[in-house]
Amino acid sequence: MGDRTMRWDGRELFGPGRHVLEAGSWRRQAVERGFAGLDGVLSVDLGRRERKLKQRGWLSAPSRAALARRLEATAACVDGQAHVLTDGEGKEYPNVRMDSFRMVGPAAAGSQAGCEYEIVYTQLGE
């Protein structure tokens, strides 16, 4: 979503940089029943359920110690609770649960420390 800052419950958890959020489609649930004397089935739409969101990007910090703190703070968000995720364009995704957070590859250090990451969320509803 560009170089704008994403937010988790209003706070800048991920910092500035490139963060890409991909929203999957909503899953629907239905019940299908057959009845004697009825050709075919009766289908009852039970509505929309949830959808998966995937976020990838680069976390950076001034030092390895600061990066470790940022990684710990992000990993602590895998708490089973619903939160509000705001993407870099300002679009809000309410009722989002962070399911997993992982580093992709090793951390790099230079003038700043950083690493690629991936997060999987479930949006429980709007």
Please state the rounded mean pLDDT for residues 114-123. Answer: 95
pLDDT tens digits, 38-91 = 888 888 888 888 999 999 999 988 988 999 999 999 999 999 999 999 998 889
Question: Distance between CA atoms of 40 and 32, rounded to whole angstroms?
Answer: 10
- pTM of the prediction? 0.81
Distance of alpha carbon 80 from its chain centroid, rounded? 13
Protein fold of 7-123: Elongation Factor Tu (Ef-tu); domain 3 (2.40.30)
Q: Domains of the chain: which residue ranges?
A: 7-123
So what's the pLDDT on residue 105? 81
